[in-house]
Chains A and B, each alone.
Chain A
Amino acid sequence: MIPASLLFFLLLIGEPVFAGPPTSPEGFRVLDTPNDAGKSLSLAWKASPSDSKDRTVQVWAAKSPPAAFQKVAEFPSNTRYVKTGDFPWWVQPAGKGDHYVKLPSSQAFPIEDGKPYTVKLLTHEGTQDVWSEAAEGVSAPNYFNLVQVNNLVFVLAFTGVLLGSIAAARRNPHIYLRRIAGLDAVEEAIGRSTEMGRPILYLTGSGGMSDVSTIAATVILGQVAKKVAHYETTLKVPHRDPIVMAVCQEIVKEAYVEAGRPDAFKEDTNFFITDDQFSYTAAVDGIMLREKPAANFFMGSYFAESLLLTETGASTGAIQIAGTDSDHQLPFFVTTCDYTLIGEELYAASAYLSREPVLVGTLRGQDISKAFIMSVLVIGTALATAGVMLQTDAFNYALDLFRDFK
């Protein structure tokens, strides 16, 4: 008869001793891995209180009708649990805390779609082995990744907001847009150039016509060209991209026509230099040093050449206005230019100046979406914090809607 105190002591320290022999995994099943391209099976079974690192689980699989089984995986029994954040609540192949193992096709054990495979588990501890019931599963590719349905919903919602905003802007183009500080300086810069009898230099950046910032730059160029046409100041627009040059040529020509000065338009206002980064920079620096423009505009996306351009321009005493969404070059522009339009201020400037419904509507749509994102950030942070403090997963129903699952 074991004394009660000894029994109590053994229970405290010797739990593994009393864990009992390994048992067959409960609820073992084989299923097609959901939301994938096929050639993969998933295994699920309930967790057991006696799972430990000393007890291993081996996965044995065979092609059905039963060929020879082969071992395809082995791991400690206290691993491979479904944790919070593994799956969204609307797609849960196994419950939280259950075991879940993905078995992709490999060279060692190829899995083909449409063919049945039989899988069984061997629980091994010390000299004891216990086999589970065999389960069969068939792999198949999926047509839709349900895990990312939240992503699709947000894309569609954003599209709807954008189209709605553009439609609203077409009905009322005078939607309020905050005045951008650098825009006042545009008038001042053009006036200064006219008084000094020196040209205006306008750069559209390194991007092509498929870049947002280049499109914004060309729109602002149109507005600058309209003002320049009134004052008959010389405008020089050197380019890195022939397609952007062709587009800008048309834009400047139209601007002069709209200003009632088609005769003042010069064909060589826009000219192509080269598409090589530093060759272009050297050429533009040369133009700045020789012709000493009174105003330099740097609109669009830029890379390492930004400081080389702006510092050279600063040395000639020109007033410099920059606008870029290249955040890595912002420090250089801010340091060397008189005014800098940061990121979306460039897009806003083009909308503000042109008042084109598409641009204004897009800006409004983006603002609405950003307001939504900011709200989600604040509320989501509060919910996640509350979840941790209250030790509950209840808030994950809301948080999962905004999580990026793969």
Chain B
Amino acid sequence: MIFLKRQLPLAITFVMGVVFALQYYIPHPVSEEAITKVSDWMKIISGFALVLGIASVFHVHAVKIRRQAPGWGYSGVLFAAIVITMGVGFWSGGESKADGAQTAFGWLYDYTMVPLQGTMFSILAFFIASAAYRAFRARSPEASVLLVSAVVVMMGRVPLGQFLAPWTWDVTQWLLNVLNSAVRRAILIGVSMGSVGLSLKIILGKERSYLGGGKDQ
């Protein structure tokens, strides 16, 4: 059992990791064929991940309903919404008919999904204003620099600011293309090294937390 849970996955990870790391350097069609086959497998696995996601949602909320845990009514609402959406989707056969008319599924998408997601995202505009009011104070020299550059960029990125103070446009472009690029590049290098380091550790079996369970060295 340990072999199936630990050794086998580690061996597969090692072999596949090394082979497809080297694939990058091999232009031969055999290498391209291999990556195409693997990417087909990845697509299938990604598809199954959707099924896994739905199954885990069902399981968690079914347990909640069975135990009548606090808020179990909302789990019932969730189930009803999933069943209705799936049912309508299968019955409608898509979001629009052959003649372009909207189906019931299309109506559900346009009048529930889109406004709900849009609403949640638009709350950000209000929250950033209250966060800025609370936090953008010149408490220190660094905070003052942050404050001034934020004000300049806010002006430089909108037509009204460009109209009232045309220099803010040029300063904004410089801040974005020079300072911002430099800093982002530095963070990107660091984070990318972290990702490469993690990938190498996973391939070489040094990092095993992705296998689940507790520590296992």
Contacts and interface: CB of A to CB of B under 8 A. Distances in A.
Interface stretch (A5-13, A42-50, A182-190, A207-215): A207-215
A327 B184 CA distance: 8
A332 B131 CA distance: 8
A359 to B, nearest CB: 9
A166 B27 contact: no
Contact of A272 (B60, B123, B128): B60
B201 A162 contact: yes
A26 interface: no
Interface stretch (B92-100, B156-164, B204-212): B204-212
Interface string A259-290: 00000000000001011001001100000000
B3 to A, nearest CB: 21
Interface in A298-346: 304, 307-308, 310-311, 314, 325, 327, 332, 335-336, 342-344
Contacts of A336: 131, 134-135
A250 interface: yes
Contacts of B53: 242, 275
Interface string B69-109: 00000000000000000000000000000000000000000
A379 interface: no
**Dominant secondary structure at the B interface:** helix
Contact of A166 (B121, B124, B206): B206
A143 B200 contact: no
A145 interface: yes
Interface in B163-217: 184, 187-191, 193-198, 200-202, 204, 206-207, 209-210, 212-215
Contact of A35 (B27, B136, B195): B27
Contact of B21 (A142, A155, A369): A155
A179 B189 CA distance: 22
Contact of A144 (B26, B132, B194): B26
B141 interface: no
Given A148-B25, A370-B193, A335 B210 contact: no
B111 interface: no
B210 A272 contact: no
A375 to B, nearest CB: 13
Given A242-B56, A327-B187, A344-B190, A212 B198 contact: yes
A218 interface: yes
Contacts of A37: 27-29, 32
Given A38-B29, A141-B27, A325-B194, A307 B131 contact: yes
B209 A218 contact: yes
Contact of A210 (B27, B127, B134, B210): B210
Contacts of A307: 124, 127-128, 131
Contacts of A308: 120, 123-124, 127
Contacts of A358: 201, 206-207
B117 interface: yes
Contacts of A272: 56, 60
A174 B57 CA distance: 43
Interface in A109-154: 141-145, 148-149, 151-152
Nearest to A305: B120
Nearest to B196: A158
Contact of A362 (B56, B187, B197): B197
A72 interface: no
Interface in A152-173: 152, 155, 158-159, 162-163, 166
Contacts of A243: 212
Nearest to A366: B193
A70 to B, nearest CB: 26
A362 B215 contact: no
Contacts of A210: 198, 202, 210
Given A278-B117, A347-B194, A358-B206, A314 B131 contact: yes
B130 interface: yes
A335 B121 contact: no
A254 interface: yes
Interface string B133-146: 01110000000000
A158 B135 CA distance: 41
* Max count, chain A CB within 10 A of own CB: residue among B130, B187, B201: B201
A311 B194 contact: no
Given A158-B196, A278-B121, A307-B124, A142 B191 contact: no
A365 interface: yes
B124 A343 contact: no
Contacts of B187: 327, 342-343
Contacts of B189: 370, 373
Contacts of B195: 212
A385 to B, nearest CB: 17
Contacts of A155: 21
A101 B95 CA distance: 50
Contacts of A373: 189
Contacts of B215: 254
Nearest to B184: A327
23 contacts: A37-B29, A37-B32, A148-B25, A158-B193, A158-B196, A209-B212, A212-B194, A212-B197, A212-B198, A246-B212, A247-B212, A250-B212, A274-B57, A275-B57, A278-B116, A310-B131, A314-B131, A327-B187, A332-B128, A335-B135, A336-B134, A344-B194, A370-B193
Given A327-B184, A335-B136, A347-B194, 5 more contacts: A159-B204, A251-B214, A327-B187, A332-B131, A366-B190
